[in-house]
Structure 1
Amino acid sequence: MTDTDGTHEAGLPLRAIWFRRPEPLEGPVVVTGVFDVLHVGHVRFLTSIAERGLPLVVGIESDERVRAWKGPGRPINPAEERAETIAALSCVSGSFIIEGPPSVADWAAYADLLRPLSPAALAFTAGDRYTQAKIRGAEALGAQAWELPFTPGRSTTAALGRLAHSL
């Protein structure tokens, strides 16, 4: 993993720690999320973005941020492994870990984090609870906001529930 290579300005509350940074990195589609236990919903979502022809870069939320938002049992997999798993998908050009205080989750902080990437689009799933914030962030970046379908019944929470039920 490498540090931000110029994608973080001093004083900003969030920073990117690159797992795999594609070079050159021009006008990517950016997705951010937890991506804790990879499942078919993730694969369908990321593949559908990549099929649009732009490089896809995925920001993975740090363990500290996930734990604060989802509770002490999460994430299941550490951020470095989640970033490595996502980067291994053929549809993904690169991945980075989002570090910063868990209380910082507003669209302006994400826009500041992503601005050096000059993203062409920010992508998210339909029904994302942060849809409006992601649309505002895309507008602030001069990027498109891509809302893609959610695969019903396929989420990390649902997968963990099925696993717990089967034990």
Structure 2
Amino acid sequence: MDNNDQHQGSTAEPKQPEENNPTTTRSWTIHDFDIGRQVYLAREKASKRILAIKTLEKEQLRVGGVVQQLRREVEIHSRIRHKNILPLYATFQDDSRGRHHHHRMLTSIYFMVLLVYLVLRYAPHGDLFSALRTAPCGRFVISFLLPVHLTPLS
């Protein structure tokens, strides 16, 4: 993907191939995607489908004591079907045998940052938190938020 394929600031959804839903039974690794300049925008190589990939550092999850919380959220998120919640297609993580690792330099010492990846439907207009953060005084028009709030989860 080129540098123009960015998640933020884009108002048009990237062109998608035929409506091939990513399979949730497939075992993905980071090598199955072309990653854009922004970490969050990806194109699955096999289907050419544009997706979002959220990355979380394992060490930060462990230090923050939120590993179990993340597991619960992933379990709940994978079962929810709601028009206002992006579907979670898959999760995967780096393994310790070198499949995919990010290296960072800290005072000339290299260490590995192992990541957890969440594969979600791409949202061309961003997320609600970002929209609230940029809205004047963090407010939205009630006609926009009320239907989101009142729609029951399935």
Q: Higher strand share goes to which structure?
A: 2
Of the two, which has the highest radius of gyration? 2
Which one scores higher on RCO, CA 8 angstroms, separation ≥ 6? 1
Report the TM-score when normalising by structure 2: 0.29
Q: Higher helix share goes to which structure?
A: 1
